[in-house]
Structure 1
Amino acid sequence: MESPDALLEFVNFPDGDYPLSAIKKFYAKYKIFHSLSIGEVGVYTRMYESRRVAFSFFSKDELSSLFPREEIRRWQEWAEYRPLFPGEVDFKGLESCWGLTVCEFRTFLNKCISNYIDLGFVNKFMPKENVQFELRPSHDIWKPTVAIFNEDDNNRYKTIDHYLVATQILPFLLRGDGEIFSRIRRCPVCKKYFIPKSLKKKFCSDKCRAAHHYAIEH
């Protein structure tokens, strides 16, 4: 069965360790885009919505060498959030914003592990206007993935929260595969979230299982 790999990788970010390099790698791996014009530039997060800012992957100098000046100007004018660049004082807020979002999705999965799915949390991040649905192939030809995004945003998602809900949670619920979330476990040793092949499996790896038994015996 297909699994929500990006969601699991997101919640398994090490606590307090959210460097820009790791976040950029995560975005590149799953081809996540937010901004209106230059998809690779902004890391938008709603956790800073009181100040309405976007964290840029690139410095101003790097942007100038990568994109035409006019395109950068349009992005900055159209962007719903004010861009922050690496090196600026407020840019350090990226790590705290990322960490808070990780905690939110861990809470969602913890409820799933307790046999409860928080639909209110899911509804909070569903696209509300100009919604477009698109069917895409999955592991089972009779259960295609349902891609959901705002029609005007060309398959981009407003925040990391919206991306995770729209691509990692809603498609499973809409095609009747929501039980995948009831299978998620959290390793009692390393605290990693994972989906075991057998529900009897408590540990994410043999290493963690051995460490658990060693701790009991000693």
Structure 2
Amino acid sequence: MIPKGSDVMFYFFIFLLFIFSILFLIPFKFMIYYEFTNQSKYRIIITYLFGLIKKEVDSTSKDIEQNKNGEDNSSKVNSIDFIRYIIDKGDIRKLYFRINIGFKDPSLLGIAVGIIWAIVNGIFAYFINSYDIDDIGDRDIQVIPIFDDDIFQLFFLCIIKVNLVYIITAYIRSLKIKKGGDSIAGTSNRRINENYNE
């Protein structure tokens, strides 16, 4: 029996609905790396469909500098609110944050370490507003004092998985905020250095 045209369209619609449902359920994977040693540099890798689709942004790439010239900022999203929403709705798989700070004066080093911990706590409390830091299994957050040397180094790595629907929602809401409105993510008073303070 040959199916009717209406039946074919119905099954085709069901098939498309199934495909789109799968695509919405497969998460994007964000890998964000930042390093400050002699200079500031970052790298962002976004993968989808188990690595079949991959986009990489590297601050050392010449394309970054070329794209800065003559770019239109009218359609850009609010980057900070976008990141906060993605973190809020995503699943943080890995969090690595390390600062090496050194002074030849020990008393100055002690003060600097305390101030840096306060700043680090504030930054993470602002961005990670829906997480208990202990729930992130693969994590390493440290402020390392280095004696008898003047040095400052920062290393950051974060891997987040988030579903496509949240990315679309975050983009739309960030565009609305750019035109005027409230922040899309709340605040938190959670401390991150309770278990990592030196």
TM-score above 0.5, yes or no: no
In our comparison, the structure showing a higher alpha carbon Rg is 2
Per residue, is there more helix in 1 or in 2? 1
TM-score by length of 2: 0.25
**TM value normalised by structure 1:** 0.24
Query: Which structure carries more relative contact order (alpha carbon 8 Å, separation 6+)?
Result: 2
